[in-house]
Amino acid sequence: MDFVLARHRIVTVSLVLFGCVLVTFIGNLVSRAETPVNRVTEAHQGFQEGKCKSCHPAIWREWENSMHAKAWVDEIYQEFADQIEDRETKCDQCHAPQPILITGVGKMPKLRDEQRASGVSCLVCHLDSEGAMHGPQASAETYFHANVTNPIYTVPTTLCSTCHGQSTVPEHDQVSSFLNSKFAEGNKSCATCHMPVVNRLQSTASYESIKGRKHTWRGSRSVAQLRRAATLQLEILPEKVSVKLQSKTGHILPGGTLRTIILEAKFLSSDGAERQKEQVPISAKAQNRLLPNEERIYIFDTLSGAPGGTITVRLMYQLTPKTPESEWILMGEKTHVVH
């Protein structure tokens, strides 16, 4: 009897012990899953496995085709960065950054160790140190991430300035010229021109269309955006043509230091033969970029224009110093026929 009782006790004690171990083990798992570090890791895994894409297909598609998605794989970037000895400390931190809500909005970003090919990813702009997604006001909830309403997204110039406005990197600064212009008045921001407003379901789990913004960031690769950048007006004077160029861009134009805008004046005789051609480069290198809204007059001397001849003034865009004239993009054109 004693023997039976003892066995019974042993079984009970073992079960209790086993139970304790199990509870501790599960408890550990649960508490591990809930630590912020783990939620941040899960967000990175989810991004890589296509979870953001499956719940936010429209925003994903826009981002994927933007230069933010290509900020690391971009061949032009890699070619220039390869020429820099300390690229890991001087260049790479903005082209493959850690989430900026974690490293600090407005502070110089830090280089990530993983997933560099995804450049300026969703997580770079939205993920905080707790694994939550910050954004404008949401209309629905999800089990995958917490939503945090954060006012910096509604007028996001400060967010953009983390990479587009570091005072130690003036080559990539569109923010300071913007802040000194009428384009910054009221609630206007970088998003006014680069993230057009759209009403839609923000995710496949949403049930209500609400106001959001397109994640397209059209800039130097968009003909439509380039055509909006400036206007041309001609005035024909005796033996001269006066060209009024006015910037409509919200910042210094061209916005990047690698780009050149070419103002060209061409004079053709009535039989179509080219009699004269002049080109003026406008670039950081030529130190004559246009300020926001700036109006500038260029005067071209014409040979005494015989009737039937034409004067054509064009504005063209050269992406890099290597881009051949045949690939320049037409930004605007005005023609005058001499009577």
**Are the C-beta atoms of 106 and 175 separated by less than 8 Å?**
no
Q: In sequence order, which residues have a C-beta less than 8 Å from that of residue 257 and are 6 or more positions away?
A: 171, 172, 283, 284, 285
Give the interface segment with ligand HEC, choosing from 20-28, 53-61, 279-287, 301-309 (CB under 6 A).
53-61
User: Quick one: 292 or 305, whose CB is closer to ligand HEC?
Assistant: 292
Nearest C-alpha neighbor of 53 from the set 66, 64, 68: 64
Chain positions 234 to 253 lying near ligand HEC, rule: CB under 6 A, are 249-251, 253
Q: Choose which of 112, 118, 128, 164 interacts with ligand HEC (CB under 6 A).
A: 164
Chain positions 1 to 40 lying near ligand HEC, rule: CB under 6 A, are none
User: Quick one: 83 or 326, whose CB is closer to ligand HEC?
Assistant: 83
CA distance 7 to 178: 82
98: contact with ligand HEC by CB under 6 A: no
CB 39, min distance to ligand HEC, A: 10
Q: Choose which of 228, 266, 296, 336 interacts with ligand HEC (CB under 6 A).
A: 228
Q: Is 14 helix (H, G, I), strand (E, B) or coil?
A: helix
Q: Choose which of 9, 90, 182, 322 interacts with ligand HEC (CB under 6 A).
A: 90
Chain positions 299 to 338 lying near ligand HEC, rule: CB under 6 A, are none
124: contact with ligand HEC by CB under 6 A: yes
**Are the C-beta atoms of 309 and 338 separated by less than 8 Å?**
yes
Q: Choose which of 65, 98, 103, 206 interacts with ligand HEC (CB under 6 A).
A: 206
Q: Choose which of 102, 169, 291, 338 interacts with ligand HEC (CB under 6 A).
A: 169
192: contact with ligand HEC by CB under 6 A: yes
Look-up of token digits 């809204």: 293
Give the interface segment with ligand HEC, choosing from 6-14, 15-23, 150-158, 279-287 (CB under 6 A).
150-158
CA distance 148 to 313: 51
Q: In sequence order, which residues have a C-beta less than 8 Å from that of residue 184 and are 6 or more positions away?
A: 157, 178, 250
Give the interface segment with ligand HEC, choosing from 8-16, 29-37, 226-234, 263-271 (CB under 6 A).
226-234
Give the interface segment with ligand HEC, choosing from 16-24, 157-165, 265-273, 321-329 (CB under 6 A).
157-165
**Are the C-beta atoms of 338 and 310 separated by less than 8 Å?**
yes
CB 309, min distance to ligand HEC, A: 32
CB-side neighbour CA atoms (13 Å) of 29: 5
Q: In sequence order, which residues have a C-beta less than 8 Å from that of residue 220 and are 6 or more positions away?
A: 67, 226, 254, 255, 256, 259, 317, 319
User: Quick one: 9 or 182, whose CB is closer to ligand HEC?
Assistant: 182
CA distance 83 to 276: 39
Q: Choose which of 40, 52, 263, 316 interacts with ligand HEC (CB under 6 A).
A: 52
263: contact with ligand HEC by CB under 6 A: no
**Are the C-beta atoms of 119 and 72 separated by less than 8 Å?**
yes
84: contact with ligand HEC by CB under 6 A: yes
Q: What are phi and psi of 278, to 5 degrees?
A: -130, 140
